[in-house]
Structure formats: structure tokens, C-alpha cells
Structure 1
Amino acid sequence: MFRETIHHPGGVTHGHANERHAVSILTRAVRRGYAVEATPSGGALITWTRATFGPTADGTIRADRSISLEPFTPVGAISPTTRADLALIGGDPHAHYAEQDGRRVISGLVWRIPAFTTARLRARSLITEDEAGRVRLTLTARLGLLAQAHRTRTTEPAGWHRPSAATPYGSAGLNRPGRRAGMLHDGGSAALCACGGLAGYGSDRAEARRLTAAHRREVTTRFITEHLAAPLATA
């Protein structure tokens, strides 16, 4: 279950969305070309700009809008061990609840998750059971895994610095006040992602941050298109 917050020109509207409704919102947003980004808590943020007729130079008024979906139970930090357990469950269509020594466990074809770990995954709302009796990952878990696998960062620009011997520009013509004579300025910033799939460079940190945001939105859009297009088996 998610808290749904809609920002529109008339104000803010709050509501709730179950998993099926959340999937519908996300897939519809992607079809319409909106920017969609998974959040580390297991939610998502959708943003777009809507143009309407109005008394402006070009006859339109553009208003930013957004929908945020935040889970009632945030996924929190996902350890490598938990990630491996979730990969087992998500990759086995035969995952189901079984009983061992009077306690509930998750069992697959050739593996079994202990009762304590099973209880912890259920308490964190990372897994659920569908109508066919299969144990699967919740949408919250899948979005959280995606976002945490694509944590991005930008590097601090070098700023004013003295050129090294390897720098071909030397210090010619750099007669600047404020004790900056002979110094070069580098405002560039690298854009990086934990997945290793982003190695961009911006002329300044703001541009690098735009590159990281575009990367996060791209992987979220791809995930929704490839994995959420078909309706879920259960709400």
C-alpha cells in the first residue's frame, strides 16, 4: 500500500493506492512520456509539465505537476544477504510458503529460506503471496531494489588550481587578481552510478546532476516497460 500525493495547480491531493493501482499509475505515466523515478524507500516520483491556454505571449500556461507514491513500510537498507534472498524468490516461479518445525518458511525447487528470515521479509513488506499461492516480491521491494542498485553521485569540481606538469596549458595569460595568477579553473563534475552504467561528465555540477537524474529515470522507465506492462496477478 502506498501514500499517493498529487501536486496540481489547484493544490495538493492526498490518497492511498494499492499495488494494482500503483502499477496502473506507473505504466500510464510511462506511456504518456512522463519522467518516472524509483525511490530508495520503494516508492516512485512522477513529474511532468502540462500546458493549458492562458493569457501569455504564446497563449499557453505551463504548470509543473507530480505524483509521488511512498510505501507505508519503507524498504530501508537492503543488505547483500537480503538481496540474495529476494533474488531467489523473484527468480523462482515455484516459490511458496511451507512449514518446518511448526514455523512458516519460503521454499523453492532446490532451496529454502529459514523461518526467521521469512518472518523478517514479511514484516518488512518485501514479499507477498498471490492468489495462486506463489510467494513473490512486492512492488515496494522491486522499486527499492532498483533504486538502491542505481545510487548516483557527482564529484566535487576541482575549482581554482595550479596546473600540474602534465597539464599542457601552463600558466600563460593567467594574470588574475586575488592570488589566482597562474591558476586554472575547472568547474567540471563527473556523473557516476553504482551500477557502473553511467560515466558522464558535466561542464558544472548542475549539469552532472541532470545526467544522474536522467539515468535514474531511464532505468526506471525501462523497468516499468519490461516488467510492469502486464497486470499483476493480485492487487
Structure 2
Amino acid sequence: MFRETITHAGGHTTGTANESHASYLLRRALRRGCDVEATRTGGALITWTVATFKPHADPRILARAIELAPEVPVRTFTDTMREDLALIEATPSARYELVDDRRVIQGDVWQLPPFVTARLRARGLVVEDAHAGILRLSLTARLALLADRHRTHTTAPEGWHRPAADDRYGSSGLNRPGRRHGLLHGAVSAALCSCGELEAVGGDRDEARRHATAHRRAVAAAFITAELGARTP
């Protein structure tokens, strides 16, 4: 279950959304060209802009958003948790079994102990098909894992610095009266992702952040298309 917060012209409206409705919102957002990002707590942020044209007033571009926040936020993943969730995701026949009157998650050739099973259930990371009795990862778990695989950051610009000793041209003229006392200013910043697929360079840190945001939105769109069956225009 998710807490749904809608930002609109009148302010904010809050409500709840089950997994089915949250999946629908994500598919619709992608079809309509909205931007979507997965959050590391297991939710998602949908954003878009609208233009207003009022008589005798300048047109304005206003931000709109839908935030989906899981009722039980996902905390930091450990390597063991990632491995356990990967096992469940890769096993179509994963199910609950009772061993000595304690519930365990059972795969074809593996079994998760009771305390691990209880932890995954309590955190809402696995859900059971009521008819087939098969386990799968919840939408919360999949969104959190997506955000966990794509942790972006930007590097700090070099700022004011002295050119390298062997740079005969970088400091040319900088020591003249009124100049910068031999210093150069570097504003370049790189955007990187833990997935290793993003290595973009921006003229400044704001531009690098835009590269990082675009990457997170791109992987979220790919996830919604592949995992939730969205169809883009």
C-alpha cells in the first residue's frame, strides 16, 4: 500500500493507493510523457508541468506531481537482502512452506530461514498470489531495488586552482595587474551512476545534476515499460 500525495492548483491532496492502482498511475504517467523517478524507500515520484494562460496576465509554467510513498519505507539494503530478493525474483515457483510450524520461503533448491521470511514479509517486500500461492517481489521492493542499482552522484568542480607546472598556456597572462594572480577557475562536474552506465560531463554542477536526473528517469521509464507493461505513445 502507498500513500498518494497529489500536488495540484489547489494545493495538496492525500490518499492511499494499492499496488494495482500505483502500477496504473506509473503506466499512465509514462504514456502521457510525465517524468518518473524511483525512490530508494520503494516509492516513485511523477512530475510534469502545465501552462496557464489567464487574460491580462503573463503565461506561467506550473509544476505538478504525484508522490507514491510506501506505508512501510524500505531501509538500506544489505548484500544478503539483495541476494535473497534476487533468489525470489529468479524463481517463478517460490512459495511459503511450514517447517516445524514456522513459515519459510521455499524455492526449487533453496530455502530462506524463518527469521528472514518474517523480515521480508513484515517489510512488505514480498507478496503472495492469493490463487496460485506463488510469491513475487512487491512493487515497493522492485522500485527500491531499481533506485538502489542506480545511485547517482556528481563530482565537485575543481574551483579556483593553479595550472599544472607543465601547462605553458593555461596561466598565460593571469599574473598581469588586475588579473587572477595566476589562478584558473574550473566549473566542470561529472555525473556518475553506480550502474556504471552513466559518465556524463556538465559545464557546471547544475548541468551534471540534470544529466543524473535524466538517467534516473530513463531507467524508470525502461522499468515501467518492461516490468509493468506500459506502452509509450
Q: TM-score, normalised by structure 1?
A: 0.92
Determine whether 1:99 maps to 2:93.
Answer: no
SS in 1 for 2:156: coil
Which residue of the partner structure matches residue 197 of structure 1? 197
Determine whether 1:165 maps to 2:171.
Answer: no
Determine whether 1:69 maps to 2:73.
Answer: no
Distance 1:7 1:168, change over 3 A: farther
CA distance in 2 between counterparts of 1:155 and 1:176 reads: 32
CA distance in 1 between counterparts of 2:186 and 2:10 reads: 44
Distance 1:35 1:172, change over 3 A: same
CA distance in 1 between counterparts of 2:177 and 2:9 reads: 49
Q: What is the one-letter code of the residue matched to 2:64?
A: R
Shift in Å, 1:116: 1.0
Shift in Å, 1:61: 4.0
Q: What is the one-letter code of the residue matched to 2:76?
A: A
> Sequence identity, in percent?
60
Which residue of the partner structure matches residue 47 of structure 2? 47
CA distance in 2 between counterparts of 1:29 and 1:215 reads: 17
Q: What is the one-letter code of the residue matched to 1:35?
A: D
Which residue of the partner structure matches residue 219 of structure 1? 219
Q: CA RMSD in A?
A: 1.8
Q: TM-score, normalised by structure 2?
A: 0.93
Post-superposition CA distance 1:102-138 (Å, at most 9, x none)? 1111111111111111011111111111121111111
Report which stretch shifted further, 160-169 or 13-22: 160-169
Shift in Å, 1:170: 3.3
Which residue of the partner structure matches residue 88 of structure 1? 87
CA distance in 2 between counterparts of 1:56 and 1:173 reads: 53
1:66-145 matches, cutoff 5 A: 66-131=65-130, 132-145=132-145
CA distance in 1 between counterparts of 2:149 and 2:76 reads: 11
Post-superposition CA distance 1:47-98 (Å, at most 9, x none)? 00122442368x8543210000000001100111100100010111100001
Which residue of the partner structure matches residue 233 of structure 1? none
CA distance in 2 between counterparts of 1:166 and 1:77 reads: 46
- Structure 1: gaps (5+ residues): 231-235
SS in 2 for 1:45: strand
Distance 1:43 1:176, change over 3 A: farther
Distance 1:114 1:168, change over 3 A: farther
Post-superposition CA distance 1:135-162 (Å, at most 9, x none)? 1111000000100111111111100100
Q: What is the one-letter code of the residue matched to 2:108?
A: L
CA distance in 2 between counterparts of 1:159 and 1:75 reads: 37
Distance 1:99 1:178, change over 3 A: farther
SS in 1 for 2:175: coil
CA distance in 2 between counterparts of 1:48 and 1:23 reads: 18
Shift in Å, 1:177: 7.1
Post-superposition CA distance 1:2-28 (Å, at most 9, x none)? 000000111111110000000000000
